Structure 1
């Protein structure tokens, strides 16, 4: 139907010139990790991400950074075939607290009197959690806490880490818990095909992945009470006397933007705006909603399962986008960009807290400051689950690096550990 014809040689030459132009553009202006968020330059982003992907695949390291085999040798990190826990295994509930951190880290912020109590663990301590995303990609932290690995190991392709690794990593928190008799569940707040979340999580050991459609809702931002209620229903339905469960719960009420009031009818009784900007006060109000809903959730667990042991671990998946203009308000934009690009911990630090019901957790691995990739082993230690050799090795890294993972020795420890897992068969085809 097209009346216009071009000789094949001419078309091939034109295609070659276009390809050289795309490669040149990508070299001069390589795609940055934040660009897919901007919703602009779609054709340019598609072309440049293609060049970046090909360069990764043709590099000596492949998708993931790892030491060469000749430097590491064969890994002795095979999984344990048996599990002998220390005492009765607690049910484990892991709560991803959307965009939450202690905003008093920013100067001049006014907060309610009891604001900081929410960030305490059951032992009264406040602990810092260092994520690999700032103001946006929840799935980086999702990858960290499920696999115990670093998204930064994937370089500029980390934006696609859950897609890249789906079906290729057979080591992490859910697998370790399954080995010890746990049934594993995930309550995912949007559709399961988002960034291949369903494929990634089920291949990472989540036995039953329950997404937004499975929960019977058509909007992916529900009040936190909704997700806590879903968890309570799941526990009542799936809990068995001799088989504990693990539930990964996502919260969404504190998702951006904070320029409008979200569900004013759910504001806790007696709450008053502290007197910051409207955006900051709305952020703090939503945190108060989360704290209230979490307290109600814990109270219902006590009431409905008075004799059952529970380990509850909650963490902020990343700082909110507004923190970037609050932490150092007078900082020039180029310096702010440099802070974020060089992973200054001030812009990546949130919180994590460990609570327990009818159970005394072992908090020996719950360091004051912990990189997100170490949370799986901290949870296993807290629950009395014996570590397999790969987690034993990672714990050694955690202790000698004082809670740092990828940032320890400029990535050298993470690269060595990645090679150990690859040699042991836990990481394949990357």
Structure 2
């Protein structure tokens, strides 16, 4: 009777938490399988049920924390990331959340010990326990496939509800987490797609192409929040092509956004390998934005606010053919690395970037591609980075729009970014009058402080806007080709859009990518498209994407810095 009451209570809790019939069905079947597995070792049903309930609560709690900070629920594949970077990152940047999470874990562990020591139960024969386990696993697998299988459950990753059922679905979706020697790509068809013919240049100009990633910057206007004129001009400059940008991540993991822009592929296509692409992907992508531009006579450069040792950036960018790679620990004086790393100020970074870029342009007048990575507006926004007395008017304005201290901090940093970029742009125009340049800028993801906006406005925490930032493409000293470019893009499309806007010739791969814009819209990975899957097959078959377990890395370009 006690076990029956426990099960009824658990079923009621799962029904309330999971909400949808498919999630409830899978959650109940998965919970039964967990209980049966634990009962093999505990011997009796009451203790196994309580221990399974504690484990389910732990999974749901961890998934809720992950969703808050990443916009995606916990999956089995994420467990490998825990010590690879997640826990150190949380302890360094979000100490309160990390501390509370660890404390909650300890309390659940103590509860489990108490159950083992204090709850009585009558052991069942081992043969019966094993039979129950086999039956429950069969029911668990049946529920998974009856509710849509991997195709249905993988789409559930960004929805805030169903924390337990999603994790248990990912557990039985073995293909989503089983280790592979090569890269795993989830959306590749069996037959290739013939590539379209290359597109000719629109004119004879080869403008410099500067791509600037504005760390954690999104457009407050997407939430109906007013901005001042300078920030409005920063987000959508007059005469530029600007709009909303869909990205694969929320709260962190900027390298996934960089990967998508550079390769024209969604990082999410690589499933559990997506977080590790800067390591596992070295030398595996033969076609990229830098390589296409270099085939047109461009020189290439990376300028980043990170140190050379960060996240395997140097080998990855080298593997894409980027010739010169300049890191923050290599900026010459008067740049002060110690002072910079206390705030990652855009005012300091754009000054150093101008020096590195100008040095390269003066040394070699060939058209140049530069990838420029800032780091100023990353969280947490509970910490004030600018000295008292600076940007007080902006903070006051932000508090009138949304009465939240973290939003005021975000807005003050955004104001410094807008001013610093404006000075950088003006200096380039003054130093190189008449030189054609195209500047593509974008936000890599939203910071977790945007949860404050959701709370204030009553927005669901899985609102699709959490994966939207901004992009803008500006043409300086030449006439761009913006015709036909949509106002909403996926990050995997931004590089191709920049090539098109520059009026440059597009090779067969980029011409095909451009043709897919209308079909895919601004959801590259989430849009079901057989042509996209066949396009990926073409790239794999041609060796432009190497998924093999025995990859031979492409020749990397030595650093010319």
Task: State the 1:93 CA deviation.
Answer: 1.2
Q: How many residues align?
A: 386
Matched, 1:123 2:248: no
Matches within 5 A, 1:18-417: 30-32=76-78, 35=82, 36-39=85-88, 55-57=178-180, 63-69=184-190, 72-73=191-192, 86-106=203-223, 109=225, 111-112=227-228, 114-123=230-239, 126-216=242-332, 217-218=337-338, 220=341, 221-239=343-361, 243-264=366-387, 267=390, 271-274=394-397, 275=399, 276-327=403-454, 329=456, 336=461, 339=462, 345-364=464-483, 366-409=485-528, 412-417=530-535
CA gap of 1:75–1:285, structure 2 versus 1, over 3 A, is same
The 3-state SS of whatever aligns with 2:276 is helix
Task: State the 1:56 CA deviation.
Answer: 4.1
The 3-state SS of whatever aligns with 2:245 is strand
* Distance across 2 between alignment mates of 1:122 and 1:292: 16
* Distance across 2 between alignment mates of 1:194 and 1:412: 37
Task: State the 1:111 CA deviation.
Answer: 4.0
Task: State the 1:418 CA deviation.
Answer: 1.9
Higher relative contact order (CA 8 A, sep 6+): 1
* Distance across 2 between alignment mates of 1:84 and 1:288: 37
Conserved? CA contact 2:435–2:477, under 8 Å? yes
Task: State the 1:105 CA deviation.
Answer: 2.8
Task: State the 1:265 CA deviation.
Answer: 7.0
Q: So what's the TM-score if we normalise by structure 1?
A: 0.79
* Distance across 2 between alignment mates of 1:149 and 1:277: 36
Task: State the 1:249 CA deviation.
Answer: 1.0
Matched, 1:427 2:550: no
* Distance across 2 between alignment mates of 1:392 and 1:351: 24
CA gap of 1:172–1:356, structure 2 versus 1, over 3 A, is same
Conserved? CA contact 1:100–1:254, under 8 Å? yes
Deviations 1:301-321 (A, max 9, x none): 121111211111110000111
Task: State the 1:62 CA deviation.
Answer: 5.2
CA gap of 1:330–1:412, structure 2 versus 1, over 3 A, is farther
Task: State the 1:66 CA deviation.
Answer: 4.1
* Distance across 2 between alignment mates of 1:133 and 1:233: 31
* Distance across 1 between alignment mates of 2:386 and 2:485: 35
Deviations 1:181-234 (A, max 9, x none): 111000122123322111111111211111122225355453212332233223
Conserved? CA contact 1:56–1:62, under 8 Å? no
Task: State the 1:360 CA deviation.
Answer: 1.6
* Distance across 1 between alignment mates of 2:372 and 2:389: 20
CA gap of 1:94–1:267, structure 2 versus 1, over 3 A, is farther
Deviations 1:377-418 (A, max 9, x none): 111111121111111111111122234311221x65543322
Conserved? CA contact 1:100–1:319, under 8 Å? yes
* Distance across 2 between alignment mates of 1:304 and 1:388: 32
The 3-state SS of whatever aligns with 2:378 is coil
CA gap of 1:365–1:165, structure 2 versus 1, over 3 A, is farther
Q: Which residue number in structure 2 is paired with residue 13 of structure 1?
A: none
Task: State the 1:267 CA deviation.
Answer: 3.6
* Distance across 1 between alignment mates of 2:312 and 2:196: 28
* Distance across 2 between alignment mates of 1:266 and 1:203: 45
Q: Which has the larger radius of gyration?
A: 2
* Distance across 2 between alignment mates of 1:165 and 1:174: 15
Conserved? CA contact 2:186–2:269, under 8 Å? yes
Q: Determine which structure has the larger helix proportion and give its number.
A: 2
- Larger CA deviation: 319-328 vs 369-378: 319-328
* Distance across 2 between alignment mates of 1:422 and 1:315: 28
CA gap of 1:172–1:364, structure 2 versus 1, over 3 A, is farther
Conserved? CA contact 1:187–1:227, under 8 Å? no
* Distance across 1 between alignment mates of 2:321 and 2:178: 31
| Root-mean-square deviation over aligned CA pairs | 3.5
Conserved? CA contact 1:178–1:184, under 8 Å? yes
